[in-house]
Amino acid sequence: MAVELKVPPLGESITEAVVGKWNKKQGESVAADEPLVVLETDKVTIDVPAPAAGSVASIAFKEGDKVRVGDVLGTIEAGGAGASAAVAAATPAPAQAAAPVSAPAAPAQSDARITPTARKMAEENRVDVGQLKGSGTGGRIMKEDVQGQLNRPSAPPAPAAPSGPRPNAAREERVRMTPLRKRVAERLIQAQSTAAMLTTFNEVDMGEVMALRKKYNDKFQAKHGVKLGFMSFFIRASVEALKAFPQINAEIDGEDVIFKHYYDIGVAVSGSRGLVVPVVRDADKLSLADLEKTVGDYGGRARNDKLTMADLTGGTFTITNGGIFGSMLSTPILNPPQTGILGMHNIVERPVARDGQVVIRPIMYIALTYDHRLVDGREAVQFLVRVKECIEDPERLLLDI
């Protein structure tokens, strides 16, 4: 008995994916619920499990093909009476799961999916909002998304078809961009075309935090089951700075400024297929141990392609740490529609002046890229100074001063 393997619901506002990898070949045996095929979207990767035990009877889409929700990826020939019975019971499930998803598809395109300002701009400029990918919470289309579409050149910057014969083709390898990488590229271009980005820098003496870690890390790990890292300190320091300078925790929506009185901090982590930014919700309410556990869990799931859309949605401010790769200094790019992003870098022993004496201290350069439309240079500089103060005197974080 043949059982269809269908593309499952992919998440809010996502209707298509790319077949990333088949874990089995046609004719090979497969166990029930064994991950059979990997689908890649512009946000996450999804493992599609085998609906029954048996063998792969057919494969309808090869790696690199685009598929839509409900498409039949292939079929499983159920093997054995027990497997056939399980298949008979489970066969209706894909259809039942797909039906309620496709039914409300039309409302998802309603006014709830786009801000009034963005809809007005789209109508005035005859922009097809159905072709836009929203950067707001839950994929909501913002004014910046429409403006970004208007700012795009009429011709695509890169040809859709191969560029033609290449003199060194025999020594080159052509690989199709993954949906995630294409989405990252789109977001970077969008940020540069819709925000007035500027970066300011400062340096942080990491000596006190490093001493604190050395003194308490063993006890911390024994009690909480996780190491005491630097990221939790920088998240807490960023939250304190955001409270002092709320413009950097805000966003521009049309002619309005939305000030967010919550602190959902995106932390850039390296996944198996590129950089992703899961969000630490209500970071101001979490302890250092909770922050370390959350970031550690996100990092592990990113490496194993287990992050969900909910993990990546939203965020009011972002922190990226290029220092783990050896970066000395960088100018991070905003994550629209956010107003600020903090860049951490490597820690290097440098000669600095302290009380008239030259001493060697562990120094990290930090950078804040901000949207100059909303944030003035004074606030941006003071924000970094506040982060610097919290890191250089970590007791402030514990005493909330």
DSSP assignment letter at 91: T
Residue 182 is encoded by which pair of tokens? 């294409």
* Long-range contacts, 146-150 (Cβ 8 Å, 24+): 146/118, 146/121, 146/122, 147/121, 147/193, 147/194, 148/189, 148/190, 148/193, 148/194, 150/125
The SS3 of residue 146 is helix
CA end-to-end span of the chain, whole Å? 68
Instruction: Determine how β-strand 265-267 pairs with β-strand 317-321.
Output: parallel
Give me the active site residues, please: 372, 376
Token pair 């940020």 is at which residue?
A: 191
Helix axes 116-125, 143-151, angle to 10 degrees: 30
Q: Which of 199, 202, 200 is nearest to 391 (CA)?
A: 202
